Structure 1
Amino acid sequence: MRRIGHGRRWRGFRRDDKGFALVEFAMALPVMLVAYCGMVDVVQMVMANRKVTQLTLALADLTARAAAVAPADVENIFDAAQSVLMPFDASNASMVISSVVVDANGNARVCWSNQRNGQALVRGATVLLPDSIRVPSTSVIMATASYRYTPQAGYVLTGSFTLGDNPIYSRPRAGQAVGTGNIEQVVRTGTKPCPDFN
Structure 2
Amino acid sequence: MTHMRKKTGLRSLRRFRRDQDGVAMVEFAMAFPIMLVAYCGLVDVAQMVMLNRKVTQLASTLSDLTARVQSVTPSDIDNIFNASQTVLMPFGTSNASMVIANVVVDAGGTARVCWSNQRNATAPARGSTVTLPDSARIPGTSVIMARASYKYTPAIGYVITGTFTLGDNPVYSRPRNGLATGVENIEQVVRTGTNGCPNFS
Question: So what's the TM-score if we normalise by structure 2?
Answer: 0.92
Residue 9 of structure 1: how far off its partner (Å): 7.2
State the Cα RMSD in Å.
1.9
Residue 42 of structure 1: how far off its partner (Å): 0.6
The counterpart of 1:153, out of the listed 143, 156, 159, is 156
The counterpart of 2:91, out of the listed 88, 107, 126, is 88
| C-alpha separation in 2, matches of 1:77 and 1:53 | 16
Amino acid across the alignment from 1:58:
T
Does the alignment pair 1:37 with 2:48?
Answer: no
| C-alpha separation in 2, matches of 1:155 and 1:14 | 38
Question: So what's the TM-score if we normalise by structure 1?
Answer: 0.93
Structure 1 ranges of 4+ moved more than 6 A: 8-12
The counterpart of 2:64, out of the listed 54, 61, 65, is 61
Q: Deviations over 1:54-76 (max 9, x none)?
A: 10000000000010000110000
The counterpart of 1:135, out of the listed 138, 150, 163, is 138
Q: Deviations over 1:102-148 (max 9, x none)?
A: 00000000000000000011000000000111000000000000001
The aligned counterpart of 2:107 is 104
Does the alignment pair 1:176 with 2:166?
Answer: no
Does the alignment pair 1:17 with 2:20?
Answer: yes
Residue 14 of structure 1: how far off its partner (Å): 7.6
- Which structure would you say has the larger Rg? 2
Does the alignment pair 1:78 with 2:77?
Answer: no
Amino acid across the alignment from 2:178:
G
The aligned counterpart of 2:8 is none
| C-alpha separation in 1, matches of 2:19 and 2:195 | 88
| C-alpha separation in 1, matches of 2:94 and 2:31 | 39
Amino acid across the alignment from 2:161:
T
Residue 12 of structure 1: how far off its partner (Å): 6.7
Secondary structure of 1:28's counterpart equals helix
Which runs of 5 or more structure 2 residues have no equivalent in the other structure? 6-10
